[in-house]
Amino acid sequence: MSDTSHYIHGTTPEEQSRLSLLNDLLNARSVEARQLRGGEKILDVGSGLGQLTRAMARTARARVIGIERSGEQIREAQRQAALDREESLVELRQGDALRFPLHADEWGTFDIAHTRFLLEHVPEPIEIVRAMVRAVRPTGRIILEDDDHDFLRLWPEPDGFAALWQAYMRSYEYLGNDPIVGRRLVSLLVEAGAQPVRNSLLFFGSCAGDDHFSGYVANLIGVIMGARETIIRAGVLSADSFDAAIVSIRDWSQNKNAAIWYTMSWAEGRR
């Protein structure tokens, strides 16, 4: 059990490729849900590869600062931004989400502080949410997006998938993280001193025959494979059972009846 932040999937090129694909699948709907009016000053906490950060900057037509702990992620984010000729669209700062690299005169000035897929990877997410509340101006918005992994469903369910997914969630707990933090987002806002104003889910289901289905399958397999070492080290599933379940998912993806339901928890508060 760890008492520090631990991103279970690492920052390998394979993981960066998976994250890029996930951004392609999710970002348009995620940005739309923000209902940006334009001109907002935005802080993106845990900006990763910066694709969502840049998408918010394009929509808001305003300054966006992204905070990311990993130097590898920032370098890849800068490379991708350069390929899209968007190097100057956002400002990426390397720093820990528990110690925002903000200047003294920047605290309390942001219109929006946002984070996605970060709170599930830290043992004390409340500390991050408190800092986000402090970062926004009075009446500023705090937007939390994260997973409740218990909401994922596949049909027809592949052999061994239930045990595999439970093992995946338990690997989070093994590291001291929370695989179902999505259901706690409103509580985190309240505990951090914000006034909750919205609680919702963003749905990203797909099925065989849909143009995006292969992308959802690739992401699902990639996210589980990224946790393979942790799952086996934690002793929650054997290597043979793990590998057999992955084969079952690949076989399932060829079934014309295959369907996937995935939802992302969303909560918004105001300072």
Q: What is the DSSP string of 70-124?
A: -HHHHHHHHHHHHHTT-TTS-EEEE--TTS----GGGTT-EEEEEEES-GGG-S-
pTM of the predicted protein model = 0.89
On the question of pLDDT at 16 being above 90, the answer is: no
Cα–Cα distance between 7 and 11 in angstroms, integer? 9
Q: What is the pLDDT of residues 19-39, one digit of tens each?
A: 666 666 777 778 888 888 889
The CATH number, out of the four listed (3.30.470.20, 3.40.50.150, 3.20.20.80, 3.50.50.60), of the domain defined by the range 13-270: 3.40.50.150
User: Which residue, chain included where needed, has tokens 């993280």?
Assistant: 177
Of the ranges 77-81, 99-103, 206-210, 245-249, which one carries the lowest mean pLDDT score? 77-81
Mean pLDDT (the chain) is 90
- Kindly state the average pLDDT of the residues 174-181: 94
Q: Which long-range contacts (CB under 8 A, 24 or more apart) does 159-166 make?
A: 159/244, 159/245, 159/248, 160/241, 160/244, 160/245, 160/248, 161/245, 161/248, 161/249, 161/252, 163/237, 163/241, 163/245, 164/224, 164/237, 164/241, 164/242, 164/245, 164/246, 165/224, 166/236
Q: What is the pLDDT of residues 235-245, one digit of tens each?
A: 999 999 999 99
Domain extents in the chain: 13-270
On the question of pLDDT at 3 being above 80, the answer is: no
On the question of pLDDT at 155 being above 60, the answer is: yes
Cα–Cα distance between 150 and 148 in angstroms, integer? 5
Q: What share of the chain is helix, strand, coil (3-state, %, to 5)?
A: 45, 20, 35
Query: What's the confidence (pLDDT) of residue 197?
Result: 97
Of the ranges 23-32, 50-59, 71-80, which one carries the lowest mean pLDDT score? 23-32
Of the ranges 10-19, 95-104, 117-126, 194-203, which one carries the lowest mean pLDDT score? 10-19
